[in-house]
Amino acid sequence: MSQIWKLDGWVIFKELGDQCFLIEFQKMVDKDKVLSGRPWFFDRHLLTMMEVDETVSIHALQFRFEPFWVQLHNLPLATMTEDFGQQFAGSIGHVIRVEAEADGHAWGRCLRVRVAVDLHKPLLRGKWLKLGEKQHWISFKYERLQSFCFKCGVLSHKGRNCARLRAEQQGDEQASYQFGPWLRGQPRNTNIFDRRRYGGGGDGNQHSGE
């Protein structure tokens, strides 16, 4: 993992059991880089992460949310704004931030929103938007999404671990899927650590504690 992360300092993995690890970083900048680069997949499995301090008990931790960049496609130009993204993407999960210029407008083929996605809820495939008399289907694509359950649409399990899929296969029904690889969004930045600069030298990616 540390090779994938390309860190400056050392990193130590301490196994806590039950596929749970405590990761210690030598350098704060490395920790920030890893946390802001989420989600991470290892061997196609989602690596859920949480920032902890020494006052918490490991047993009290609940890994329930993971931040993703979600792309909102087919938005009318008037809605390509930070305010709209905040409000509209709220149905996906808690909105951490919207990628937009300093004046609140966004340009590009889609609006990118950083959202804390609930691992136990089905991924939202899109949502209708009514603007004037017109209805628009806004589709959602999840960047860097790898494995998830094509049956239930959740990130917390997949494939053979799916109870619904097993139940269907035990019956004579042909398994049908409502979710698929088309939920994956092509990342817009080839380098995910690419720091985008806006106007006065502000740095859009520097949000610690996401």
Interacting residues with Zn ion (CB under 5 A):
149, 151-152, 162
Q: How far is CA 184 from CA 26, 127, 148, 197, 206, in A?
A: 33, 16, 11, 26, 25
Residue closer to Zn ion (CB basis): 47 or 175: 175
Residue (37 or 153) nearer to Zn ion, CB: 153
For residues 48 and 201, what is the distance between their CA atoms, to the nearest angstrom?
32
CB closer to Zn ion out of 38 and 157: 157
d(CA 100, CA 83): 10
Nearest approach, Cβ of 66 to Zn ion (angstroms)?
Answer: 17
Cβ of residue 121: shortest distance to Zn ion, in angstroms? 12
Beta-bridged to residue 65, according to DSSP, are 118
Q: Is the peptide bond before 39 cis (omega within 30 degrees of 0)?
A: yes
> Which one, 35 or 123, has the nearer CB to Zn ion?
123
- CA separation for the pair 188, 201 (Å, rounded): 21
Residue nearest to Zn ion (CB): 162
Least Å from the CB of residue 15 to Zn ion: 27
Give, in degrees to the nearest 5, the angle at Cα 66 between 61 and 99: 140
Rounded least distance, CB 94 to Zn ion, Å: 23
